Structure 1
Amino acid sequence: MLGQHPNLMTTPELNIFVGDTIQQWADQPSANIFCDGLIRTVAQLFFGAQTPQTVQQALDWLQSRASWSVQQLMDALREAAAPAALIDQSPIYMQKPAFLQRILTNYPDARFIHLTRNPVSWVRSMEKWGIYGEEIMRMFAASEVGLTHQPAPLDLWHAAYTGIDRLMEGLRPEQHIKIYGEDVVTRPKEAMKQVLDWLDLPAEEAHLEAMMHPEESIFAGWGPMGARGGNNPDFLTAPQLRTRDDRDDLMTLNPAGVPQEVVELAVQLGYQAA
Structure 2
Amino acid sequence: MTAPGSTTAPAQDIAASTGHPEPVFILSPPRSFSTITLALLAGHPQIFGFPELLVFANERVSDLIGDNGTEAERFPPEYRRTRLSGVFRAIAQVHEGVQTQDALDRARDWLLERTDWPTTSVLDDLLGHVGPLVGVEKSPDTVATDESLARCLNHYPKAKFLHLTRHPVTTQRSMQEQNPQYLTNKKVRAVGAATSWYLSHRRIAASLAELPDDQWMRVRGEDLLREPELWSRRLLDWLGLDASDGVIDRMLRPEAWQFANNGPSGGLYGGDHKFLSNPRLRPVPDPGPVRFDPEWGLLDEMCDRMTRLAHELGY
The correspondence for 2:229, drawn from 189, 213, 221, is 189
Taking structure 1 as the reference length, the TM-score comes to: 0.86
Following superposition, the deviation at residue 152 of structure 1 comes to 4.3
Give, as a single letter, the amino acid of the residue that structure 2 aligns with 1:214.
Answer: P
Q: Which moved more, 1:15-24 or 1:53-62?
A: 15-24
Match of 2:311 in 1: 267
Which residue is 2:245 aligned to?
205
Q: How far does residue 32 in structure 1 lie from its aligned partner after superposition?
A: 2.2
In the alignment, residue 250 of structure 1 is paired with which amino acid?
Answer: P
8 Å Cα contact 1:19-1:25 kept in structure 2: yes
TM-score, normalization: structure 2?
0.76
Amino acid at match of 2:119: V
Bigger relative contact order, structure 1 or 2 (CA pairs below 8 A, ≥6 apart): 2
Gaps of 5+ in 2: 1-39
Give the counterpart letter for 1:201 in structure 2: L
Counterpart for residue 145 of structure 1:
none
Q: Secondary structure at the residue paired with 1:46?
A: helix
Size of the aligned set, in residue pairs, is 257
Aligned residue in 2 for 1:237: 277
Q: 2:63 aligns with which of 24, 33, 56?
A: 24
SS across alignment from 1:261: helix
Identity fraction in percent: 29
Distance verdict in 2 for CA 1:153–1:20, change over 3 Å: closer
Q: For 2:261, give the aligned amino acid.
A: G
Q: Deviations over 1:219-260 (max 9, x none)?
A: 11112559611111111111111124x4xx325322564711
Q: In structure 2, what is the equivalent of residue 252 of structure 1?
A: 289
**2:163 is matched with which residue?**
114
Q: Does 1:48 align with 2:97?
A: yes
CA distance in 2, matches of 1:66, 1:241: 38
The 5 A counterparts of 1:129-140 are 129-130=178-179
* Segment drifting more, 223-232 vs 104-113: 223-232
Match of residue 263 from structure 2: 223
Question: SS in structure 1 opposite 2:56?
Answer: helix
- Measured against aligned partners, the alpha-carbon deviations of 1:48-85 in whole angstroms (never above 9, x if no partner) come to 20111111011111111111122321111001111211
Distance 1:128 1:224 in 2: 27
Residue 220 of structure 2 is aligned with which of 180, 186, 203? 180
Cα–Cα, structure 1 residues 252 and 193, in superposed 2: closer, same or farther, change >3 Å?
farther
CA distance in 1, matches of 2:288, 2:235: 20
The residue identity in structure 1 corresponding to 2:115 is: A
Match of 1:103 in 2: 152
Specify the alignment match of 2:42 in structure 1.
3
Query: How far apart, CA to CA, are the structure 2 residues paired with 1:55 and 1:256?
Result: 43
Instruction: Measure the CA separation in 2 of the matches of 1:56 and 1:263.
Output: 46
Q: State the SS of the aligned residue for 1:9.
A: strand
Q: In 2, distance between residues paired with 1:187 and 1:251? A: 17
